[in-house]
A and B are shown apart, each in its own frame.
Chain A
Amino acid sequence: MINGLAARLATIVGQQRVLLRTGELRAYESDGLAGYQATPSLAVFPATRDEAIAVVRALADTKTKFVARGAGTGLSGGALARDVVLLGLHRLKRIISIDGDNARAVVEPGVVNAALTAAASAYGLHYAPDPSSQSACTIGGNVAENAGGPHCLKYGVTLNHVLALTVVLPGGEVVTLGNAAGEQTGYDLLGAFIGSEGCFGVVLDATVRLERNPQSIRTLLADFSSVDAAAHAVSAIIASGIVAAAMEMMDNAVIQIVEASIYASGYPTDAAAVLLIELDGATAGLDDDVARVAEFCTAAGARGVRIATDPADRARLWQGRKKAFGAMGRISSHLVVQDAVVPRTKLPAMLAEIHRISARYRVTVCNVFHAGDGNLHPNIGYDANDPDESGRVHQAMKEIMQACIDAGGTITGEHGVGLDKLPYMDALFTPSTLGAMCALRDVFDPEHRSNSGKVVPIHSCREWHAAPAARVNRS
């Protein structure tokens, strides 16, 4: 059967763009979270919008399950295709238009995030959401995951930067969600689609909002002798009303790893934590804000604050932060990358709790995260071939996630649920809420063929479909 489908897809995209051999498919068995592997039954790579539509229609005709994939940099196992078709979209990489006057662009889903900003720079513009994987990740993947990044603290996440999408639904219909003028008329299907993790359809093009480049940028590196002091500095800055463009924290474990790598950024290796804070905007008044932020850091116990204005210095300070995950790859074979959010005011208490949990399970947590919006990324390096260590790592992560939920937070800030966070969905949402998610999915993908088995636990949907009469009495 799969050979028949392969032959049909080859007539659309060409023989070379359909992969069937296990060896070739291995390249697509993981996303950025390499602890999970699943081999697709077939991989197909359309190059144009028409080819993509024809492929999705062929999959619909044959009732074939599929998973759309961009660059495969996701960190939740969301792009894994176990024994189903993998629909790779990285060849749809045209920037269709950039409208400098209205600060917007129309791009295909395979356009790399940083490539869009590079192209927009000719107009004095940039695309603000900047995930750490921005040099490789695609806009289509960003839309699917509602991706964030350090600068989303001030500028907002993907959701706030997409004006319209053309989407091919899993059934093969092509629909337009939102509109390029940014005015929402009718139901906000665009909002529902962004962050739907490939369960609602395949993006054919995205109209995105670009931001004007700020007149001036200042990057500060504040050096602390305790994590708690750094966390309190974050709270003080936020409460003051100064909106930083980014506010990132790295603890000593991360600093050591980064400084020992080719991404060394000159972070003080004896610091318990550093804060990387960026302020941008009109030059007038900016240095006053910089001075106030430096004062807040010093008052919270910072040993020193460095201020970089030169673009090369700023880029160097950012390099370690952006490449921290890559640097971690040097020290252990596997890495659990977590992504949880707590209210900003709970940050100091939560960091202390994470420290207690990691000590109890004898694991080393490296914290590198978006402190300004309470988006934690506790990471644990380990050896997946050691069952005892793996067990302790996963148990520690479970407790960290539960602690974040208990503190009024949530289980993902920007990486999505995918496969990795499925076990936590029941702890976060009521059965009725999960049921509503299942019902919404039915609207876009009634046959559950698009990235099936991700985001909402299958048992929730089964229960929802099994008991329509019981729903009336739920609250």
Chain B
Amino acid sequence: MSAEALAIADQVRSARLRAATLRIVGGGNWMDAGQRCPASEPLSLEGLHGIVSYAPGDLTLTARAATSLSEIAQVTAAENQWLTLDPPGSRHGTIGATVATASSGPLASAFGTPRDHVL
């Protein structure tokens, strides 16, 4: 596990011991989401960034949570491939947020939702 991932696990553990509430922040693009969030401290995933591995022959890619959809699109386009998820909002939205919210767009009718794509 990367140092960044371990640091986040530490922060979650520490919050548990202190009975603190956490708010997960990925790209920070849609923080209010129309709902009040009473968390006492942010848990930034900024450090969890980047594509870990990409095997075009397997049609699989592993990315850390805060990697944006546009970065994934850029890397896969070079191999004539694409991730068929088009959630609402900016392409700077992250893969972590897309999965957390199970967001999908018009492409879902042909290609399915995040749950159909996450291995």
Chain B residues within an 8 Å CB radius of A374: 58
Not counting A160-B112, A473-B13, A475-B1, a sample of 14 additional A-B residue pairs whose C-beta atoms are within 8 angstroms of each other reads A156-B116, A184-B102, A188-B115, A191-B115, A235-B57, A238-B57, A239-B56, A345-B55, A345-B58, A374-B58, A472-B16, A472-B17, A475-B6, A475-B9
User: Which residue from A160, A241, A343 sits with its C-beta under 8 Å from B58?
Assistant: A343
In the complex the two chains form, is B102's CB within 8 Å of A344's CB?
no
A238 adjacent to B13 (CB under 8 Å): no
User: Which residue on chain A has the smallest CB distance to residue B53?
Assistant: A408
Is the interface on chain B under 10, 10 to 19, 20 to 34, or 35 or more residues? Answer: 10 to 19
| A-binding residues in B (CB < 8 A) | 1, 6, 9, 13, 16-17, 55-60, 80-81, 102, 112-113, 115-116
A239 touches B17 (CB 8 A): no
Q: Which residue on A lies nearest to B112, using beta carbons?
A: A160
Number of chain A interface residues as a range = 10 to 19
A155-193 CB contact bits vs B (8 Å, 1 = yes)? 010011000000000000000000000001000100100
Specify which chain B residues have a CB less than 8 angstroms from the CB of A238 in the assembled complex: 57-59
Among A212-253, those with CB < 8 Å from B are: 235, 238-239, 241
- Nearest CB in chain B: distance from A150 CB, A: 18
Instruction: State the total of A-B contacts with C-beta under 8 angstroms.
Output: 37
Indicate if the CB atoms of B58 and A156 lie closer than 8 Å.
no
Q: Which residues of chain A come closer than 8 Å to B57, judged between CB atoms? A: 235, 238-239, 344-345
Please name the residue on chain B nearest to A243 by beta carbon: B59
Contact residues in A for B116 (Cβ distance below 8 Å): 156, 159-160
The smallest C-beta distance from B55 to any residue of chain A, in angstroms, reads 6
Complex Cα distance, B57 from A326, in Å, reads 33
Closest B residue, CB atoms, query A473:
B13
B80 near A241: Cβ-Cβ < 8 Å = yes
Closest to B57 in A: A345
Who on chain B is nearest to A344 by CB? B58
| 19 A-B pairs whose Cβ atoms sit less than 8 Å apart in the complex | A156-B112, A159-B115, A159-B116, A160-B116, A184-B102, A184-B113, A184-B115, A191-B115, A235-B57, A238-B57, A238-B58, A239-B57, A241-B80, A241-B81, A374-B58, A472-B13, A473-B13, A475-B6, A475-B9
Q: Which residues of B contact A344 (CB under 8 A)?
A: 57-59
Closest to A345 in B: B57
**A352 to B71 CA separation, bound complex (whole angstroms):** 37
Instruction: Give CA–CA (A191, B55) in the complex, Å.
Output: 26
- Could you say which residues of chain B place their CB within 8 Å of the CB of A160? 112, 116
8 Å CB contact of A343 from B60, B80, B102, B115 = B60
A435 → chain B closest CB, angstroms: 15
Contact flag A188-B17 (CB < 8 Å), given A156-B112, A238-B59, A475-B6: no
A195 to chain B, nearest CB (A): 13
User: How many Å from the CB of A154 to the closest CB on chain B?
Assistant: 12
The docked-state distance in angstroms from the alpha carbon of A345 to that of B55 is: 8
Q: Are B55 and A343 in contact (CB under 8 A)?
A: yes
Give the chain A neighbours of B60 by CB distance below 8 A. 343
Cα distance, A16 to B13, chains bound together (Å):
56
Q: Which residues of A contact B16 (CB under 8 A)?
A: 472
A344-373 residues with Cβ-Cβ distance < 8 A to B are: 344-345
Hey, what's the 0/1 contact readout for A434-451 against B, CB within 8 Å counting as 1?
A: 000000000000000000
Closest CB in chain B relative to A328 CB, distance in Å: 29
Which residues from chain B contact A191 at a C-beta distance below 8 Å? 115
Q: How far is the CA of A473 from the CA of B14 in the complex (A)?
A: 10
Cα distance, A335 to B6, chains bound together (Å) = 45
Q: How far is the CA of A344 from the CA of B9 in the complex (A)?
A: 32
- Complex Cα spacing A344 to B59, Å: 9
Q: CA of A241 to CA of B55 in the docked complex: distance in angstroms?
A: 13
Residues of B contacting A235 in the complex (Cβ-Cβ under 8 angstroms): 57
CA distance A322 to B6 in the complex (A): 47
Top 8 A-B residue pairs of the complex, sorted by shortest distance between their CB atoms: A345-B57, A343-B58, A239-B57, A344-B58, A475-B9, A345-B58, A160-B116, A184-B102
Instruction: Please indicate the chain A residues that have their CB under 8 angstroms from the CB of B80 in the complex.
Output: 241
Question: Which residues of chain A are within 8 angstroms of B112 by Cβ–Cβ distance?
Answer: 156, 160
Taking a contact as CB atoms closer than 8 A, the residue among B6, B58, B102 that contacts A188 in the complex is: B102
Residue of A at shortest CB range from B113?
A: A184
| Most chain A Cβ neighbours within 10 Å, of B1, B55, B81 | B55
Q: Distance in Å from the Cβ of A425 to the closest Cβ of chain B? A: 18
Q: Smallest distance from the beta carbon of B34 to chain A beta carbons, Å?
A: 15
Give Cα distance in the complex from A473 to B60, angstroms.
32
* B94 vs chain A, min Cβ distance (A): 19
Chain A residues numbered 241-280 whose CB sits less than 8 Å from any CB in chain B: 241
Which residues of B lie under 8 Å from residue A345 when comparing CB positions?
55, 57-58
- The complex places the Cα of A343 from the Cα of B16 at a distance, in Å, of 37
Expressed in whole angstroms, the Cα–Cα distance for A156 and B112 within the complex equals 10
Closest residue of A by beta carbon distance from B81: A241
Of B6, B16, B59, B81, which is in contact with the most chain A CB atoms at under 10 Å from its CB? B59
Q: A386-414 toward B: CB 8 Å interface, digit per residue (1/0)?
A: 00000000000000000000000000000
